[in-house]
Structure 1
Amino acid sequence: MTPQDPRPAGRPDRPLRFVFYTHSLVSDWNHGNAHFLRGILRALEVRGHHARALEPADGWSRRNLVAAHGDHHIDEFGILFPDLGTKTYGPRFDHEEALEDADVVVVHEWTDPALVARLGRARARGARFRLLFHDTHHRAVSDRPGIAGLDLDGYDGVLAFGAALREEYLRAGWGRQVFTWHEAADVSVFRPMAAPAARRDLVWIGNWGDGERGAELEEFLVRPAAMLSLDATVHGVRYPDHALKRLDLAGIDYRGWVPNVQVPEVFAAHRVTVHIPRRPYVETLPGIPTIRPFEALACGIPLISAPWDDAEGLFREDDMRRAGDGAAMRAHLRELLSDPEAAEAQAARGLETIRARHTCGHRVEELFDILAALGTAAPQNREIIT
């Protein structure tokens, strides 16, 4: 049996200074973790703590955003998120100096391995901050050498975004202590919006990636939309030509990348959405929904999901519709699009669960518990501020 998370209750008894090493806070181009970390930084600041992010100046997501859409999106970040502090670093950046006043340092798994090791050595030499490694991907099962090659010896703990991923770390002996820390919805951004007078039927927001769900997209999105003659929209990046041609043949409107701050408006302009998980999360990391379902439900849109195992009981059975195959997906779509009362009730159930359990405010409270388990001081007030 896998050991339980060693996590007593508690919150810091003084303001803490957090530093998050992100792949990018500024760019969410093919980088959903940016949505979550923006919400975490904001939730920490609301609670009176100081949180800032560091990101590589030449990060892959940032480079692709600028190449595809121009650098004005980089400039807009400070306007859209004026309360979030972030700084870029390059080869000559003095990381030790930047962390002199830090209490907690969280390092994302896409951070350069040499820097991961450098931060671990700094902690091992006596740096005063708690050092946590944050894994929000499936590389522990799809690219084991890549994760196994990371030097985590100096880290106080690992934050894994699902129990199945945590178990992979424990089996492999990666990290001293491993905690489950799911992603969640940043409800300061993802919330219900007023619907326009004319709405389209179906929207799916997701990236093609490396083809980990090509067959699933065909069964649970493309064919149902085509067979039901739906007004359907797809947003996302990294779609190869053959995928774009298939969407066009099915009558689906492909609209490319959408900044996450615009996603609530996109959901409001459609009557239903679907969740189609990547294959590694279905086959080898059950219980990890990734961030998209949290965000969709937070926006108050009915959600129909392709198969995945909610092994950790994150959601109630009726928070979303479940479609075991393409025929079931068509049946759910037909019902929700033809019955406004059923669609409204479906959306309300999912939204209720998000607000009760799955906001970035809830995850900050869980992070405080993890820090308490690692010996960081903790106060009495447990009020949840979402």
Structure 2
Amino acid sequence: MSSHGLRIAFFGASLVSAWWNGAAMYYRGLLKALHARGHRITFYEPALPERQARRDLPVAPDFATVVMYSTEGTAGLERCLEDARGADVVVKASNVGLRDAWLDARVLELKSATTQVVYWDLDAPVSLERMAGNPEDPFLALVPRYDRVFTQGGGDPVVLAYRDFGARECIPVYSAVDPEVHRPESVDARFDCDLAFLDDRWPDLERRMESFLMRAADLLPDKRFLLAGEGWGERARPANVRYVGPVAPREHNALRTSARSVLDVSRDGMARFGFSPAPRFFEAAAAGACLITDAWEGIELFLEPGRECLVAQDGLEVAEAVLCLTDDGVRQLGEAARRRVLAEHTYAHRALQVEQALGYEPGPGALKASVG
């Protein structure tokens, strides 16, 4: 073990492309913060043609070495596994998008007295409901074999559920913000509206988007609503909902700064478990947006309702919030939300938490926790 930080091998969906990859900003923020603390990261991702054709990072980031493996056969992935052997920490993220079940099992072969293997679940409520509903799920037998499970959210409900499935340890590592990336920007007329919603069209999000955004738009025909993200183009919508298509990550700040208010809605499973704010929740706050969010358990741990964000139970309450917001209210809510996330919810905060969970302490003999 070097005193210069951990060698981390990370198998994930993509670090260079955010296309249908909601975890991209989470990966980037967290790994950048870990790199800043002296850790060396190699990120292994499948060279999926559609994703690579839509890269939003044309050049690999300087905080990680990116290794792409072929989607044909397993030879390329086998070479990556061999390359990862001997790392201090091997991470297998959920939803890589290629041979996930195969890779879930194979990374465990890299465990040793000096290598801990971590499963990082970016969709914990969905995973837990899947395992609870299928006693033959192959992942059930693997859970107890990982040294620990990290999740992108979940709080006590997810921690307890994973422990019930035999996890040795389960630690939520929530999304956060990178102050260098997520910040207020100049107003852009393309995104001018009373309420904006930015997310991709996932099956377990669509029903909730309907009940919050579309319902509010129906109730307020004189207000202007904006819908952004992949996949919504053919979706029926009220005349006052303007669809602008997918928006590149570099333009997310401008959208959030330009909209009078921004709606964040949890996916079905996340809302049922609570404690699972998505990256966009924090990113909107960091941009100084006036944030209207659906109600979920644990929100007050991140933003204070009524002072740092507004909480709506349904589309009617979204409409009421849009209707009642004053210019001063919009500004005060956005400024308060930004102050809170910069003080408590940056990826620098999360990197410290990851180090502690891994048993890492800077200096000689840095990995204190036992593995195996």
Q: Secondary structure at the match of 2:75?
A: coil
CA distance in 2 between counterparts of 1:294 and 1:308 reads 15
Residue by residue over 1:7-38, the C-alpha shift from the partner in whole angstroms, topping out at 9 and shown as x without a partner, is xxxxx953222221111112212221111111
- The answer to whether the 8 A contact 1:29-1:259 is kept is no
Q: Secondary structure at the match of 1:182?
A: coil
Matches within 5 A, 1:140-219: 140-144=127-131, 145=134, 146=137, 148-149=139-140, 151-160=142-151, 161-163=153-155, 164-173=157-166, 175-196=167-188, 199-210=192-203, 212-219=204-211
TM-score under structure 2 length normalisation? 0.84
Label 1:82 to 1:181 Cα distance change in 2 as closer, same or farther (>3 A): closer
1:300 — aligned with what? Answer: 288
CA distance in 2 between counterparts of 1:54 and 1:298 reads 29
The yes-or-no answer on 1:348 pairing with 2:340 is no
Q: 2:75 aligns with which of 92, 101, 113?
A: 92
CA distance in 2 between counterparts of 1:169 and 1:254 reads 39
The yes-or-no answer on 1:22 pairing with 2:12 is yes
2:35 — aligned with what? Answer: 45
Q: CA RMSD in A?
A: 2.5
The yes-or-no answer on 1:361 pairing with 2:348 is yes
For residue 64 of structure 1, report the CA deviation from its aligned partner.
Answer: 4.1
Q: 2:89 aligns with which of 104, 108, 112?
A: 104
Label 1:196 to 1:254 Cα distance change in 2 as closer, same or farther (>3 A): closer
2:370 — aligned with what? Answer: none
For residue 45 of structure 1, report the CA deviation from its aligned partner.
Answer: 2.0
Label 1:102 to 1:265 Cα distance change in 2 as closer, same or farther (>3 A): same
2:246 — aligned with what? Answer: 257
AA in 2 matched with 1:201: D
What is the total number of aligned residue pairs between the two structures? 345
Q: Secondary structure at the match of 1:151?
A: helix
Label 1:85 to 1:271 Cα distance change in 2 as closer, same or farther (>3 A): farther
Q: 2:120 aligns with which of 134, 138, 143?
A: 134
Q: Which moved more, 1:301-310 or 1:44-53?
A: 44-53
CA distance in 2 between counterparts of 1:253 and 1:80 reads 34
| Unpaired segments ≥5 residues, structure 1 | 1-11, 381-386
Residue by residue over 1:195-247, the C-alpha shift from the partner in whole angstroms, topping out at 9 and shown as x without a partner, is 2478332210012211x244432332123234322222111223373xx22x2
| Unpaired segments ≥5 residues, structure 2 | 365-372
AA in 1 matched with 2:172: T
- The answer to whether the 8 A contact 1:36-1:186 is kept is no
CA distance in 1 between counterparts of 2:197 and 2:347 reads 23
- Of all paired residues, the percent bearing the same amino acid is 24
CA distance in 1 between counterparts of 2:225 and 2:314 reads 19
1:3 — aligned with what? Answer: none
Label 1:312 to 1:172 Cα distance change in 2 as closer, same or farther (>3 A): farther
Residue by residue over 1:171-205, the C-alpha shift from the partner in whole angstroms, topping out at 9 and shown as x without a partner, is 121x3222121122233321111224783322100
For residue 99 of structure 1, report the CA deviation from its aligned partner.
Answer: 1.6
For residue 153 of structure 1, report the CA deviation from its aligned partner.
Answer: 4.6
For residue 142 of structure 1, report the CA deviation from its aligned partner.
Answer: 3.5
Q: Secondary structure at the match of 1:185?
A: coil
The yes-or-no answer on 1:234 pairing with 2:227 is yes
CA distance in 1 between counterparts of 2:253 and 2:229 reads 15
Q: Secondary structure at the match of 1:274?
A: strand
Residue by residue over 1:83-102, the C-alpha shift from the partner in whole angstroms, topping out at 9 and shown as x without a partner, is 44311123213134312452
For residue 54 of structure 1, report the CA deviation from its aligned partner.
Answer: 0.7
Bigger relative contact order, structure 1 or 2 (CA pairs below 8 A, ≥6 apart): 1
Following superposition, which runs of at least 4 residues in structure 1 exceed 4 angstroms of deviation? Answer: none
For residue 288 of structure 1, report the CA deviation from its aligned partner.
Answer: 1.2
For residue 47 of structure 1, report the CA deviation from its aligned partner.
Answer: 2.1
AA in 1 matched with 2:91: V
AA in 2 matched with 1:57: A
For residue 316 of structure 1, report the CA deviation from its aligned partner.
Answer: 2.3
For residue 274 of structure 1, report the CA deviation from its aligned partner.
Answer: 0.7
2:368 — aligned with what? Answer: none
AA in 2 matched with 1:335: C
